[in-house]
Structure 1
Amino acid sequence: MRFQRLLLAATLGLATVLAQAQALKPVSVARGLQHPWGLAFLPDGRMLVTERPGRLRIVSPDGTLSAPVAGVPKVDARGQGGLLDVALDPEFATNRLVYLSYSEPGEGGNSTAVARGQLEGNALTNVQVIFSQQPKINSAAHFGSRLVFARDGRLFITLGDRFGQRDEAQNLANHIGKVVRIERDGRVPSDNPFVGRNDARPEIWSYGHRNVQGAALHPATGELWTHEHGPQGGDELNLTQAGRNYGWPVVTSGREYGTGFKIGEGTSKSGMEDPLRQWLPRSVAPSGMVFYTGERYPQWKGNLFIGTLREQALIRLELDGTRVVREERLLTNLRERIRDVRQGPDGWLYILTDNNDGQVLRLEH
C-alpha cells in the first residue's frame, strides 16, 4: 500500500513537471494587509478580508482598505493564532450576518472559536460567540480553521490538534483534531453522527485530523472536502464524511520533525479513512481551497485549487470523481506564501499572500 502511494506521488509529480500552465497574470487588487488569512465577497462586489493580528477590513473593488471594522472579538494573536476565516451567512442579503473564526483567549490558554455579528456600515453589531473549541490549551499552533456552509445551511468548522495534543484527535470527548457541524446559531443538529453518545461531543462531524486549513463543498455532490497539514510530509486531501476517522496520529505517511522517525502504526488501518491524495516526501503546507465553477478558465472548470505556504504555489488538481488524475503547480514565480484562494463573483480566482505586506491578487490571463 505504501509503495503504491509513493508510486502515485511520483507519477503525479512527473505530471506536474510536464504540465503546461495557462499563463496567469496576478493583478494586485489591494495591498498593505498584515498576514491576511480569509476572504469573503459581499453582494456589492466589495470583500471582507481578515488580518491575523485581529483586524477585519472591507476592501473596495479599487483596492481601498477600510479602517478596521469595529466589534471584532478579541483574539490571541500569537504564533499561528489570531483572526482567521470569514464567511457570510447564506441569507446575508436579509440578515447581514458575518461569521469569524479566531483564536479565543480564556482560562487554560486559547482555542478556536466562531462568533457572528451583523455588518452595519464599518462595524459588527450584536456579536455573539456560537462555538468555542474545548478544552483550551496553552499553545500558539494548529487552530484550523475554515468555515464552510453546507447546502442545508449548517456550518462546518475545521479544527486543529493544537500541536502538542495529537493523541486527543482520537478522543471523541473533546474538539481537538476534529471537524464540527453546527446550526447557524450554534445549536447542535439532531442528525450529527455522535448525538446521543455519552462519550462524545455532539458537535463532532469527523475526527482524527491534524490541522485542517482548507475546506470546500464539491459543486456536484455537495460533499465536504478538506485538506490538512501533515508533519514532515504526509499532507492530505480528504473527502470528509459524517462519523469517519481520518487516522491522525495512528496512521500517517508523515514523519517526526527533525528525526524522521515513523509516527503511529503505519500508513493505513481498517476503520480509518485513506486520503484521496498525499504529498510526499515533502510537505507543501496547504491552506485555502476552492472548486472552480466559473467561465474565465473554461478548461479548468471542476478543477480543485489549493494554496500552499511552504511550496509557495497554487496547486491545480484535475479530478475523475474522487480520483486525482493530474496535478499542476501555478504561480511558482510569484514566490509568495498563498494563504487562501477563492472564486470571485466575476469568475476570476483571487488569492491572499501571507506576509507583513500581504496582497489580494486577481488571477487574470
Structure 2
Amino acid sequence: MKRPLILLAGTALGAAFMSGPISGLALAQAQGTSVETQAPNARDQKPAFANQTRARQPAATTKVTTAVVARDLPNLWSMEFLPDGRMLVTAKEGAMHIVAKDGKPGPKIEGVPKVASGGQGGLLDVALAPDFQTSGKIFFSFSEPRDGGNGTSVASAKLAADGNGGGRLDNLKVIFRQMPTYDGNKHFGSRLVFGPQNELYVTVGERSDRQPRVQAQDLASGLGKTFRIDMEGKPFPGNPHLNRDGARPEIWSHGHRNLQAATLDGQGRFWTVEHGPRGGDELNRPEAGKNYGWPNVTYGIDYSGAPIGKGLTAKTGTEQPIYYWDPVIGPSGMAYYGADAIPEWKGAFLIGGLVSQGVVVLHMDGDKVATEERIPLDARIRDVKVGPDGAVYAVTEERGGGGSSIVKLTKA
C-alpha cells in the first residue's frame, strides 16, 4: 500500500492532514518556524546556545511517499538488513525472524535465549558483525533474567539460516553484562553500533528509579553509560578508564538516562539520542570519558512536575547536549543518511519518534543542528534504517504489545 505524504512548498502535510483544516503543525511549517508548536514543560529553562532546541524548518521540506512493505509482524524492537536484502528483526517478547523481500516473516529462529520481556524489557537491538559476509556472526542485546533481577546483556552467535526462511543461532555466547543487576522493568537501553575499528558501542539505561539512577554518575557502576568493547566483550584499547581504580574499563561516557537511539555519522563518529524525562530528550556525540549530566544536570522536569534534582541545566564538568526537545519526541532508533536516493536528506540524522509518531530529520551544519523537519507516519516508530536501495525503513510499534509494520519512505 502506497500513501503519499503531500508536501507543498514549505509545508509538510502528512496523511493525517490530507483533508480538513491546516493544523498548527502545518501552519508552523508553512511559516518556516519550528515544527514544535506546544509549550515546553520546563518553561523557565533556556537553551545554552542558538539552535540547541526548536530549530527552524528547512526552507522546503522533503516530499516523500510511504509504502507498507511488511505488516502483521510481532511487536518488533529492531531490524537490520542482511546482505541479500532480507531483514533480520527482533521481537520484544523474545523471538527473532528473517523477513523475506516480499514482507513475509519466516519461522522463529531457534536458539534465542530467554528474555525478561516485562515492562520495557525484551529482545532488543541486533547488529551484524563487520565480517558477517564470511563469519555469519551477529550481535544482539536483551534484558537478561538474573538472580535478583535482570539487566542488559549482549550476546554473539552465528546465524545459520535454513532453506525455509528460518534458521538457528549457533555458538551463542553472552559477551557482556551491564552490572549491577537490578530488579526493575525500565530503562534497559539499548543500541549496538560497530565503529570503524570494529569497536562495538553499547548503550544502556540507568534503570529509571530514583535509587539506581544516581549511579549514572558512578564510574564503578554500569548504569547510565555508553560502553566501548571488542567483539569478545573486553574493554576496547584506548578506553578512557582502562587504568583507573574503581572505574569499569568498558565505559566510554557516563551521565546518561536511557539511550535507545545511536548511529555513526559519515566520519565514523558515534552519536546518540536519549530519552529525557518530561522534556529533555538529548542529541549527543559522546566523547571519551565525558559526563553528560544525568541526573544532576538535565533539561525538562520530572513526571511529577517537580524539578529533577536542583533543576540545573548546566554545570562545570558536564557536557551540554548538541540539541534537545521539550516536549519530547520519544527517540528510538537512529540512522545517518549518506545515500543518494533522497538527496535532500544527505548528511542528516533520521530519528524514530515514539511520541512524535514519525521520523524526525535533523539537518546538520557541522556538529550543530541547522534545521529540523518531521515526517508524520501516524504510528510510534521503534527503529529506523537506511536500506541498500537508499530508501528509509521505519519499524512501527503498537502500545500494549500489538503488532508491527515496516514502512518504506522514498522520494516522491
TM-score, structure 1 normalization? 0.95
Q: CA deviation at 1:218?
A: 1.2
CA contact (8 A) 1:252 1:263 kept: no
Other-structure match for 2:220: 173
Partner AA of 1:32 in structure 2: D
Other-structure match for 1:300: 345
Other-structure match for 1:156: 201
Other-structure match for 1:329: 374
Deviations 1:118-143 (A, max 9, x none): 01121110100001110111111000
Choose the corresponding residue for 1:54, options 82, 85, 94: 94
Choose the corresponding residue for 1:271, options 317, 321, 326: 317
Deviations 1:55-83 (A, max 9, x none): 10101111111111111111000011000
C-alpha separation in 1, matches of 2:347 and 2:284? 17
Residue 248 (str. 1) matches residue 294 (str. 2): yes
SS in structure 1 at match of 2:302: coil
Residue 314 (str. 1) matches residue 354 (str. 2): no
Q: CA deviation at 1:10?
A: 6.5
Deviates more, 1:108-117 or 1:22-31: 22-31
Identical columns (%): 44
Q: CA deviation at 1:348?
A: 0.6
CA contact (8 A) 1:289 1:305 kept: yes
C-alpha separation in 1, matches of 2:310 and 2:99? 45
Q: CA deviation at 1:262?
A: 4.0
C-alpha separation in 2, matches of 1:10 and 1:189? 34
Other-structure match for 1:233: 279
Residue 133 (str. 1) matches residue 178 (str. 2): yes
Other-structure match for 1:284: 329
**C-alpha RMSD of the superposition:** 1.6
C-alpha separation in 1, matches of 2:195 and 2:213? 28
Other-structure match for 1:259: 305
CA contact (8 A) 1:206 1:242 kept: yes
C-alpha separation in 1, matches of 2:152 and 2:98? 23
Other-structure match for 1:94: 134
Q: CA deviation at 1:27?
A: 1.1
Q: CA deviation at 1:26?
A: 1.7
CA contact (8 A) 2:330 2:355 kept: yes
CA contact (8 A) 2:90 2:96 kept: yes
Partner AA of 1:340 in structure 2: D
CA contact (8 A) 2:47 2:53 kept: no
Cα gap change, 1:11 to 1:204, in 2 (>3 Å)? closer
Other-structure match for 1:79: 119
Q: CA deviation at 1:30?
A: 1.0
CA contact (8 A) 2:296 2:308 kept: no
Deviates more, 1:187-196 or 1:81-90: 187-196
Other-structure match for 2:406: 360
CA contact (8 A) 1:255 1:263 kept: no
C-alpha separation in 1, matches of 2:95 and 2:379? 21
Other-structure match for 1:339: 382
SS in structure 1 at match of 2:214: helix
Other-structure match for 1:187: 234
Other-structure match for 1:120: 160
C-alpha separation in 1, matches of 2:54 and 2:331? 20
Deviations 1:246-292 (A, max 9, x none): 00011001211122334345101111110000102x11111111110
Unaligned runs of 5+ in 1: none
Other-structure match for 2:391: 348
TM-score, structure 2 normalization? 0.84
Partner AA of 1:41 in structure 2: F
C-alpha separation in 2, matches of 1:103 and 1:293? 32
SS in structure 1 at match of 2:262: strand
Cα gap change, 1:309 to 1:19, in 2 (>3 Å)? farther
C-alpha separation in 1, matches of 2:266 and 2:257? 25
Residue 216 (str. 1) matches residue 263 (str. 2): yes
Q: CA deviation at 1:353?
A: 0.2
Choose the corresponding residue for 1:27, options 67, 70, 73: 67
Within a 5 Å distance, the mapping from 1:11-26 to structure 2 comes to: 11-12=54-55, 15-16=56-57, 20-26=60-66
CA contact (8 A) 1:81 1:103 kept: yes
Partner AA of 2:127 in structure 1: A
C-alpha separation in 2, matches of 1:9 and 1:226? 15
CA contact (8 A) 2:53 2:324 kept: no
Partner AA of 2:245 in structure 1: N
Q: Work out which of the two has the higher radius of gyration on C-alpha atoms and give 1 or 2.
A: 2
CA contact (8 A) 1:292 1:300 kept: yes
Partner AA of 1:296 in structure 2: A
Cα gap change, 1:115 to 1:206, in 2 (>3 Å)? same
